Structure 1
Amino acid sequence: MYHLSALMTKNCRYFQLYKQLNILSLENLHNIEKLCPYCKNKNIVRHGKVTSSNSQRFRCKNCLKTFTETFGSPFYRSRKHPTIWQDYLVNMWQDLSISRCSINTNIAHKTSFLWRHKILNYINNFLSLIRPHENVSMLLKVYKTTSKDMSLTDNDRSTQYDNHYFSLAFTKKKYISIHPLGKGPFSIHKIPDSFKDLIKNIYSLSLSNSNQLLQYAKKVIPKAKAGCDSFLGIYNVNMGLWFLHFFGVSLKYYSNYLHWFASKYYISTFSLKLDWINDEEVSYQ
Structure 2
Amino acid sequence: MIQKSVNLNELKEHINSFLEKEIYKNKNIECCPICGGKKHIKYGSYKGIQRYKCKKCERTFSNTTNSLWSYSKKDLNKWIKFVELMIKRKSLRFCAAKLKISLGTAFYWRHKILHGLKVDSIPNKLEGAVHINKTIVVENFKGCRNITTTKRSNIWIIAAKGDEDSMLVLPAFKDCWMRGIFYEKVYSKIQKGSYIVPYNDRYITAIAKEHNKKSLKERKEDDRVGYIMMNIMRWFSPYKGIATKYLEEYLSFFVLFNLDKMIDYVDIISYLSFGEKFIRTKDIGLKNK
Task: Please classify the TM superposition score into its range, dividing by the shorter chain length.
Answer: 0.5 to 0.7
C-alpha spacing 1:43/1:186, structure 2 compared with 1 (3 Å): same
Shift of 1:107: 0.6
1:145 to 2:142 alignment:
no
1:198 to 2:189 alignment:
yes
SS of the counterpart of 2:262?
A: coil
What letter is aligned with 1:16? Answer: L
Shift of 1:112: 0.5
C-alpha spacing 1:200/1:36, structure 2 compared with 1 (3 Å): farther
Q: Check the 8 A contact 1:131/1:177 in 2, yes or no.
A: no
Shift of 1:101: 0.8
What's the counterpart of residue 28 of structure 1?
none
Q: Check the 8 A contact 1:14/1:82 in 2, yes or no.
A: no
SS of the counterpart of 1:143?
A: strand
What's the counterpart of residue 45 of structure 1?
40
Q: Check the 8 A contact 1:164/1:183 in 2, yes or no.
A: yes
Q: Check the 8 A contact 1:207/1:224 in 2, yes or no.
A: no
Shift of 1:231: 4.2
Map Cα deviations across residues 228-281 of structure 1 (whole Å, 9 max, x no partner): 533433565333212110122111211221121222334xx323333599xxxx
What's the counterpart of residue 145 of structure 2?
none
Q: Check the 8 A contact 1:60/1:66 in 2, yes or no.
A: yes
Shift of 1:186: 1.7
1:87 to 2:81 alignment:
yes
The 5 Å alignment of 1:4-43 reads: 16=19, 34-39=30-35, 41=36, 43=38
- Choose which of 161, 164, 169 in structure 1 pairs with 2:160: 169
What letter is aligned with 1:67? Answer: F
Q: Distance in 2 between matches of 1:125 and 1:208?
A: 28
The 5 Å alignment of 1:252-267 reads: 252-266=245-259
What's the counterpart of residue 121 of structure 2?
127
- Choose which of 234, 241, 265 in structure 2 pairs with 1:248: 241
Shift of 1:46: 4.0
The 5 Å alignment of 1:167-246 reads: 167-186=158-177, 191=182, 193-199=184-190, 201=192, 203-208=194-199, 210-222=201-213, 229-234=222-227, 236-246=229-239
SS of the counterpart of 1:181?
A: strand
C-alpha spacing 1:61/1:215, structure 2 compared with 1 (3 Å): farther
Map Cα deviations across residues 111-168 of structure 1 (whole Å, 9 max, x no partner): 1111111111111112224532232111123332279xxxxxx9xx64x432233322
Map Cα deviations across residues 176-198 of structure 1 (whole Å, 9 max, x no partner): 22344233412557755223423
What letter is aligned with 2:119? Answer: N
Range moving further from structure 2, 69-78 or 110-119: 69-78
What letter is aligned with 2:19? Answer: Q
What's the counterpart of residue 74 of structure 1?
68
What letter is aligned with 1:135? Answer: A
Q: Distance in 2 between matches of 1:233 and 1:167?
A: 11
Q: Distance in 2 between matches of 1:127 and 1:19?
A: 23
* Number of residue pairs matched by the alignment: 240
Question: Can you give the 5+ residue segments of structure 2 that lack an aligned partner in the other structure?
Answer: 1-15, 24-28, 142-147, 269-289
> Identical aligned pairs, as a percentage?
21
Q: Check the 8 A contact 1:14/1:75 in 2, yes or no.
A: no
Q: Check the 8 A contact 2:125/2:191 in 1, yes or no.
A: no
Shift of 1:92: 1.6
C-alpha spacing 1:60/1:172, structure 2 compared with 1 (3 Å): same
SS of the counterpart of 1:169?
A: strand
